Amino acid sequence: MKPAPFDYVAPATLDEALAVLVERGDEAKVLAGGQSLVPVLALRLASPAWLIDLNRIASLSGIRRLESGELAIGALTRHRMVERSDVVANANPLLASAMPWIAHVQIRNRGTIGGSVAHADPAAELPGICLACDAMLTVQSRRGRREIAAADFFKGMFETALAADELLTEIRFPAWPAGRAYGFLEVARRHGDFAICGIATTVDRDAEGRIADSRIVAIGLADRPLRLTAAERALAGTKGDRDAIEAAAAAATSGLTARSDLHASSEYRIELAQTLTRRTLMQALPSQTRWP
Amino acid sequence: MIEPREVVLTVNGERRSGPCEPRMTLVDFLRETLGLTGTHVGCEHGVCGACTVLLEGESVRACLMFAVQADGASLTTVEGLAPAGEMNDLQRAFQEHHALQCGFCTPGILTTATALLRDNPEPSEDAVRHAISGNICRCTGYQPIVRAIMDCARRRKAEKRAGGAA
Amino acid sequence: MNAPDRALAKDGHVGAPTVRGEDQRFLTGRARFTDDVRLERMVHAAVLRSPHANARILGIDASAARETKGVLLVATAADLGDRRSPIPIRLAPLPGLERFLQHPIAADRVRFVGEPVAVVVAESRYIAEDALDSIAVDYEPLDPVTSIEQAMQDKALVHEAVGTNIGSHYHVSRGDPQAGFAKAEYRRKERFRCHRHTAAPMETRGLIAEYDGAVLRVWGATKVPFFNRRVLAKMLASPESSIEMIETDIGGGFGVRGEFYPEDFLIPWAAMRLRRPVKWIEDRREHLMATNHARETECELEIGMKRDGTIVAMRATVMADLGAYTRTGGGVAIARVPQFLPGPYRIPDYACEVFALFSNKTPVGTYRGPGRYEANFFRERLLDMAAADLGLDPIALRERNLVSAAEIPYDIGKLVPYEGPNAYDGGDFHSAYRQALAAAGYASLPRNGALIGGRLHGVGVACFTESSGAGPSESARIVARPDGRYEIYSGVTTMGQGHETVFAQIAADELGVPLLAFQVFHGSTAYVDEGWGTYHSRAIVVGGSAVKIAAQTMRDKLIAVAARRSGLAPGRLRLSAGAVIRVDDSSTVLDVARLARAAEEGDAEALDATHVKARFDIKMRTYSYGSHVAHVAVDPETAQVEVLSYVALEDIGRVVNPLLAEGQAVGGAVQGIGATFLDELVYDESGQLLTGSFADYLVPTSTEAPPVTAILLEEAPSASNPLGAKGAGEGGIVATGAALANAVANALSPLGVKITALPLSLNNLAASIRAARRKK
């Protein structure tokens, strides 16, 4: 399983990379961590004439907490760096909790957060986390720079809003509100495999303890991460007690059909989405669900 | 016409170099060009872990990197875990616990375990199992591998307490 | 977790949990697997494989490939000419299967995705794969046969000339099943299905062939190199003596590696054509479509019992999907199912109808415990169903029906067409059963769907018998060297079992020297005149026995030489630490190393005593037996199963090395546990293999492997060999599907979930749970 021949360039700066992308774009593939791309090349599912290696561009990697409280992570930051970061653990506990679910340590040592998000595998964790956190994705090209909301970024299976000459350069997570509760669970065939279905949940309550806002995002269910808005609506204004959680779980997948593949039927995915909605809400709101 | 590149890197503390096409994987470069056949190829699509090496000390799948990407880097392969003809304490623990049968997955597990014990010198059994979950073994059922790694960690801790060198 | 019991060690090396001397080269990256071998001027092969399950080949245009820089050879069937005799059957020649043999390369027809169509040899594997892409094959796709049901219908045919997909159809029986069923107060019939999966060793197949004009050398041989050499010689029309098969270090076999495959002809043929060494290393995608598949079998099983649970009769129809061609393993994969269906139970009246079927899928061969994993699942599931129907405790049901020690030897009849009647030769099945239950703490395990922490708990058991020590023979050669070393040469092959250490242990006990004095050479045809190999758990039983006999013979000869030269009676001498010494005062009478030097200088008597050959012929099949106990917790909402504990107990007669034997048991158990939940080879209706890489063909990792307690008993040494041993390689896997299916079914019993098929994948269990809920 050897790749077809390709030529190779490893630009040292972002500007160089963007220039090469313009010059070679339609016959090139961009190499970040390579954990998804290289198997594709090995299986000859793609045979680009050029490989543009971003790994020498130091400016694309880094984790910063901004004064606003936002968390800014360079696209080429390795999963493992995010996983080990105290800054991330403090600035976005949901993101931190999802990291150990991503594949295995060797993959996390090379794979990048930007690579995963730009690759947009429907069952990947990071696109779901971005959606659940209303992340902003910074995208650059020779033509300029733009910010795309996560909700507008994921278009379909392996499909994003990135134009052919654009690179994802940074992901910014909004400041984590005080008192926000969260949950994350995933069912896969084996530890580290792509999720059959996973749910990322955030819950924000008002001063009276009523749920003011929530995000319940499913991964693996559809061709892209999906907000289960029916569940979010069922929760809104409630105290998030057992009945509210049951109602949210029951409503979670109404009107939805799920993907079906070798490993799981659409019915199974729907069942999991409901169960994991309930369980992540119980993770987020444990005091609400204690038996009397 | 795709020009071959000259890749220069440090492997097991020694400066090594060789020509390669950009598409040559790091594991093929190590095995074919540098003659370091201790790192194995089990799947070539990044699942089995037989090709695991340490890149700047971190465990990576050498089948998912191209040799050109490792230019200027420092690698450790299984051949570099102990001086020639010797075994280190982790390797001896594997032998004592029968943590290998056919031995094909073993180099990848040793490098992975080396990085684990450096980062987490006192791992729980659960932590060990999670650390090697990216390395497939078909022979041992993993149980003796986990035992060997934990035993090695235990002994290093005892030696440290006793003031001896690890 | 069960550490090897040092108390099992007797005085000598046999019985001791000796660590393996061979480990150092594997641990330091200095082993020599086939791909590690480099030869001067070596070139690389790649195989073009059919993308269709069933198609006519209308034409092949390899001109672009041939013109590619760096390509030395592109061969199709046309180039092989009359060198295209089919690959023969090695064993289990069920009548009819010989009509479905495979030629090493497809000519005008392909019958499974993965069938070789062309071979390319180039300066590198990279270039060879580029050339593959440029070969244009004109296919006319045909309707494929992709299921057992379709195969039985004979509407689409895999081999038109044969006229049917039913390769072999026969009946076996013992007693009088009709009369038996007439006595039944209760009957139940169910249809079961075992899924297609395979061994997936970590190292894929590989070969290097080199021909210098006189001798053809082939690296990468294993399992049965002498047989394979015979086949290759015949197919090349070369004398066997001009071919050398060389065993390198091998990355796992489990039955699927080492049989004679098409590449085992194509690569040597190419090497002879090119007069350059040709290396071929299978990649993982090829491996999953080209290396033998296994286990896809359906069984309609009926049992008749008295109301008290006494089995009175059993009847079965077994249908196995053997893929597109008969492989060298012949009908083993299916013939063992009817043989092991009755298991260790008293079932005097039993009949089985067998259909060996062909389909447009990868051919099937033997995989660890062939036929047993399937048969145990079918039978043990039905026993639990019967117990539930009759309101009986499934544990007591088995107690009642297990053959008792007093009934052993127990005649199992003639259940395999190409073998004579057989008998369980020794053992106490009840003792093993009770010990397994005790080790599992069965009495206190939550089961029957007890709900704890949101999960349903269940326990499943399975009892089994297992044969080992297949004959006919094995040979060994021992040479004493002037430097005090001893070289052991064996016809046995090794894929990780540790034979080098075990044979040293056996010989050390007889020759009275330390383990370090031994060097063991195995597998290659240059080492012994005649060898048989490693399969059917025979390496220690037959190969180890040959080593024991050779060592004893050497000991006796050394003592005889010393006696002759000293005038002392042999009874007053013994062998110890490299010398023949007097029993009374331990003084040295003869130094073995010095005698070895004399042998090399021409002393005939010395030569005879220091270069010894032996052969062990095993006259009877020997049976090990045991029980597995599985405790699981099932999450009924997600269908996830956690195996909380697993006991794999087997009586193997004599445990030569408890450390290694435990390794086989645990390794086999985890392989089987993984197979029961994960491994599955899936085809779509057009015969495309959907599980074509490790991303979709799932094997267990360290996080899926549960704690396994392996217990090895020595209550029933085997009378079939001087070691008293039975094979230890397969007992760990054979009852895993059965025990786990019973455990999961037990856990889900409150929901009324019916389990009759493997694998117990998340999706399958979710569907079963959903179906049961809808019924309610």
> For residue range C637-650, what is the model confidence (pLDDT) as tens digits?
999 999 999 999 99
Nearest Cα neighbor of C476 from C662, C298, C723, C709 is C723
Does the distance separating the beta carbons of A5 and C130 come in below 8 Å? yes
Question: Measured between alpha carbons, how far is A282 from A276 in angstroms, rounded to an integer?
Answer: 9
First to last CA, chain B: 51
| C244: phi then psi, degrees, rounded to nearest 5 | -120, 125
DSSP C543: I
Q: Are B60 and A109 within 8 A, CB to CB?
A: yes
Q: Which amino acid is at C79?
A: D
Tens-digit pLDDT profile for residues B7-28: 999 999 999 999 999 999 999 9
Token representation of residue C551: 């060592």
Interchain contact, A191 vs C701, CB within 8 Å? yes
pLDDT at residue C668 above 50? yes
* Pairwise CB contact (< 8 Å): A51 & B5: no
| Closest CA in chain A for residue B25 | A2
What pLDDT score does C81 carry?
80
Q: What share of chain C is helix, strand, coil (3-state, %, to 5)?
A: 30, 25, 40
Interface A-C: count of C-beta contacts within 8 A: 66
- Side chain identity at A118, as an amino acid letter? A
Helix/strand/coil for C521: strand
Nearest chain B CA: its distance from C364 CA (Å): 20
Cα A206 to the center of its chain, rounded Å: 27
Q: By mean pLDDT, which of C103-112, C519-528, C661-670 is the weakest? A: C519-528
pLDDT bracket for residue A142 (50, 70, 90): very high
> Could you count the other beta carbons within 10 Å of the beta carbon of residue C583?
11
Question: Which candidate, C710, C624, C626, places its Cα nearest to that of C662?
Answer: C710
pLDDT surpassing 50 at residue C196: yes
C283 and A CB contact within 8 Å = yes
Q: Enumerate domains of chain A plus CATH numbers.
A: 7-53 (3.30.43.10), 61-173 (3.30.465.10), 181-285 (3.30.390.50)
Q: Which of A190, A267, A279, A289 to probe by mutation at the C interface, max C CB count within 10 Å?
A: A190
Query: Which candidate in B41, B95, B135, B143 is best for mutational testing of the C interface (most C CBs within 10 A)?
Result: B143
Give contacts of A28 with chain B, Cβ < 8 Å.
Answer: none
> CB-side exposure of C57: number of CA atoms within 13 Å?
23
Q: Give me the helices (H) in chain B, please.
A: 26-28, 89-96, 106-119, 125-131, 143-161
C553 phi/psi in degrees, rounded to 5 = -65, -45
What is the second-level CATH architecture of the domain B89-165?
Orthogonal Bundle (1.10)
Kindly state the DSSP code that residue C683 receives in the 8-state scheme.
B
Give the per-residue pLDDT at C1. Answer: 33
Candidates C29, C38, C284; nearest CB to B79 = C29
Distance CA B119, CA C470 (A): 49
What is the per-residue pLDDT for C307? Answer: 97
Order of all β-strands in the sheet with A181-187? A181-187, A197-205, A211-219, A226-227
Q: How far does CA A218 lie from the centroid of its chain?
A: 11
C515 touches chain B (CB under 8 A): no
Tell me which residue in A2, A39, A268 faces C766 most closely, judged by beta carbons.
Answer: A268
A148/chain C closest Cα distance in angstroms = 32
Strands across the sheet containing C622-634: C450-452, C455-468, C622-634, C641-651, C708-713
Query: Residue A291: what pLDDT?
Result: 42
Instruction: List chain C residues with CB under 8 Å of B137.
Output: 202, 702
Scanning C589-628 for CB atoms below 8 A from B yields none
Instruction: List, for residues B28-77, the tens digit of each pLDDT value.
Output: 999 999 999 999 999 999 999 999 999 999 999 999 999 999 999 999 99
H-only helix segments in C644-761: 658-677, 731-734, 736-747
- Closest chain C residue to A189 measured between Cα atoms? C762
Give the list of residues 6+ apart from residue C376 with CB closer than 8 angstroms, or none: C340, C343, C462, C464, C734, C735, C737, C738
| pLDDT at A114 > cutoff 70 | yes
Q: Which helix (H) or strand (E) holds C736?
A: helix C736-747
Structure confidence at residue C776 (pLDDT):
80
Say if residues B151 and B96 touch (Cβ distance below 8 Å).
yes
Residues from chain B that touch A31, judged by Cβ atoms under 8 A, are 69
Average pLDDT over residues C596-606: 96
Give the residue-averaged pLDDT of B142-163.
96
Integer Cα distance of C360 and C325 in angstroms: 9
* Chain C hits for B143, Cβ within 8 Å: 1, 666, 670, 705, 707-708
DSSP secondary structure string, A145-180?
EEEEEHHHHEEETTEES--TT-EEEEEEEPP--TT-
Interface of A with B (CB under 8 A): 1-8, 10, 31, 34-35, 38-39, 41-43, 51, 53, 55, 80, 100, 103-107, 109-110, 191-192
* Phi-psi category of residue C254: left, alpha or beta, with phi > 0 → left and psi -120 to 50 → alpha: left
SS3 per-residue string spanning C78-99: HHHCCCCCCCCCCCCCCCCHHH
- Residue C136, strand partner residues: C61
The 3-state DSSP class for residue C555 equals helix
Return the structure tokens found at C389: 């129907």
Look up residue B166 and give its two tokens. 């690890």
Tell me which residue of C80, C47, C40, C82 sits closest to C65, measured CA to CA. C47
Determine how many CB atoms are found less than 10 A away from the CB of residue C603.
16
Whole-angstrom distance, CA of residue A79 vs CA of residue A85: 10
- Yes or no, beta carbons of A192 and C701 under 8 Å apart: yes
* Rounded CA separation C607/C316 (Å): 58
Residues from chain B that touch A104, judged by Cβ atoms under 8 A, are: 49, 133-134
Q: What residues have CB less than 8 Å from B13, skipping those under 6 apart?
A: B80
Asked if C556 has any chain A CB less than 8 Å from its own CB, the reply is no
> Which residue is closest to C497 within chain B, CA to CA?
B101
Q: How far is A273 from chain C (nearest CA, A)?
A: 10
pLDDT at C4 over 70: no
The single-letter DSSP state of residue C540 is: I
Asked if B22 lies within 8 A of A39 by C-beta distance, the reply is no
Select the residue from A2, A41, A51, A104 to test the B interface by mutation, using most B Cβ atoms within 10 A. A104
DSSP-assigned letter for residue C321:
E
Contact C115, C55 (CB under 8 A): no
Q: Which of C690, C666, C669 is nearest to C680 (CA)?
A: C690
Quote the tokens at residue A116.
């995963």
Gyration radius from chain C CA atoms: 27
| pLDDT, tens digit (0-9, with 9 covering 90-100), for B65-113 | 999 999 999 999 999 999 999 999 999 999 999 999 999 999 999 999 9
At residue C9, does pLDDT exceed 60? no
Between CA C766 and CA C639 the distance in angstroms is 5
Identify whether the C-beta of residue C415 lies closer than 8 Å to the C-beta of residue C401: no
Cβ partners under 8 Å of residue C232, min gap 6? C216, C218, C238, C243, C260, C264, C265, C268
Listed residue (B89, B142, B149, B162) closest to B122, CA to CA = B149
Domain ranges of chain B: 5-80, 89-165
The confidence band for C625, taking pLDDT boundaries of 50, 70 and 90, is: very high
The token pair at C236 is 């090349």
Q: Which of A188, A175, A166, A206 is nearest to A263 (CA)?
A: A188
Looking at the complex, does the CB of residue A268 fall below 8 Å from at least one CB of chain C?
yes
pLDDT for C12 equals 81
Q: pLDDT band at C2, cuts 50/70/90?
A: very low
Placement of tokens 């089990």 in the chain: B42
Using a CB-CB cut-off of 8 Å, the residues of chain B touching A103 are 134
Look at C284 and B44 and tell me if their CB atoms are within 8 Å: yes
The reply to whether B46 touches chain A by the CB within 8 Å rule is yes
* pLDDT computed for residue C7 by the predictor: 34
Q: How confident is the model at residue C35 (pLDDT cuts 50, 70, 90)?
A: very high
C63 lies within 8 A of chain B by CB: no
How do residues C47-95 score in pLDDT, each as one tens digit?
999 999 999 999 999 999 999 999 999 999 999 987 668 999 999 999 9
Instruction: Give the whole-angstrom CA distance, residue A115 versus residue A111.
Output: 7
Query: For the segment A185-204, what is each residue's pLDDT rounded down to a tens digit?
Result: 999 999 999 999 999 999 99
DSSP state of C223: S
CA distance A262 to C682: 8
| Planar angle of CA C51, C53, C57, nearest 5 degrees | 70
In contact, B7 and B18? CB cutoff 8 Å: yes
Mean pLDDT of chain C: 96
Q: Compute the distance between CA of residue C158 and CA of residue C144 in angstroms, rounded to an integer.
A: 7
pLDDT score for C237:
93
d(CA C76, CA C87): 17
Q: Is A45 on the interface with C (CB under 8 A)?
A: no
Selected residue of B28, B45, B54, B64 to mutate for chain A interface (largest A Cβ count, 10 A)? B64
Q: What pLDDT was estimated at residue A286?
A: 85
Which residues contact residue C405 at a Cβ distance below 8 angstroms, ignoring those fewer than 6 apart? C427, C428, C429, C430, C431
C-beta of residue C271 within 8 angstroms of C-beta of residue C241: no
Mutate to test the interface with A, among C694, C761, C762, C773 (most CBs of A within 10 A): C762
Which chain A residues are Cβ-neighbours of C774 within 8 angstroms? none
Quickly state the pLDDT bin for A288 (edges 50, 70, 90): low
- Residue C731 forms contact with B (CB below 8 Å): no
Instruction: Give the C-alpha separation, C205 to C209, whole Å.
Output: 14
Do B5-80 and B89-165 come out as alike in CATH topology?
no
Fold of B5-80: Ubiquitin-like (UB roll) (3.10.20)
In chain A, the N- to C-terminal Cα span, in Å, equals 59
Across C170-178, average pLDDT: 97
Contact at 8 Å (CB) between C317 and C299?
A: yes
Q: CA-CA distance, C534 to C531, in Å (whole number)?
A: 10
Q: Max Cα separation, chain C?
A: 90
Residue B165's pLDDT is what? 55
Question: At C515, which amino acid appears?
Answer: L
- Which of C126, C133, C678 is facing A190, going by the closest CB pair? C678
Full-model pTM? 0.97
- Contacts A116 to B, Cβ<8 Å: none
Any idea of the CA torsion for C182, C183, C184, C190, to the nearest 10 degrees?
-40
